Amino acid sequence: MKKIKALIILPVMALALLAQGCGSSSRITTSWKDTEASMPALKKVLVLGLFMDKDRVLRLKTEQELAASLKALGYDAITAAEEYGPKSFQNMKEEQALQKLKSINVDGIVTVTLLDKNKEKYYVPGNVSYAPYPIMRRGFWGYYSYYYPRVYDPGYYQTSTTYFFETSLYTVNGNRLLYSAQSEAFDPSSVSSLANDYAVAIVKDMRKQRVI
């Protein structure tokens, strides 16, 4: 007798969750660099997060992780939150902000914006398996009592969260955009892992684009 295997089809979001389980939660969706500009030799870079107040912890972690990744490459990287406080350049005009940066010898600024944070609830079905032929010959009750607790595994609802970021690199002198990227992170395990995975992905893409 030919054996039949049951096929369980999971929702797209559930499959994405399984795929992310063993690796980074962040990925670059698109990136751009100014191909007409010669990349300046930046030395001191400020990392500035643009997040809502409710995401203040994520902002701090993201700034810190990205600054640490840039430091590992030899840049003098600082964070806006640590240098200027949580409000940074609030109520300043452009000339004032640029002058403030120049006064501490910052020649590059990386902005990180949390564009959106989307939560979605989805259903993960339970597992249903087909019994191999020998078990069928044990009689109805033997078959039933052996397989019932194993055959049906109840499904459950799970909530996933996707973060969408935009990252840009500007020069202070000339105030020119050199690089911009959008990225997303699916269901990170913690704020720290989200910030770390984001920083790793962005720095990797910046190096690939040869802007750092």
CATH number at 46 reads 3.30.160.670
Cα(6)–Cα(188) distance, rounded to whole angstroms?
31
Q: Which two structure tokens, joined as six digits, stand for 73?
A: 């490459």
Residue in the block written with tokens 């020069």: 171
User: What pLDDT score was predicted for residue 8?
Assistant: 34
- This prediction has a pTM of 0.73
The whole-angstrom separation of Cα 190 and Cα 184 is 15
Please list the ranges in the chain whose pLDDT falls under 70: 1-24, 122-156
pLDDT at residue 138, as a whole number: 53
Largest CA distance in the chain: 85
pLDDT for res 24: 64
Is residue 5 one of the residues assigned to a domain? no
Domain that holds residue 188: 22-116+163-208
Q: What is the pLDDT of residue 151?
A: 52
Answer yes or no: are the C-beta atoms of 191 and 58 closer than 8 Å.
yes
Return the DSSP state at 103: T
Residue 7 falls inside a structural domain? no
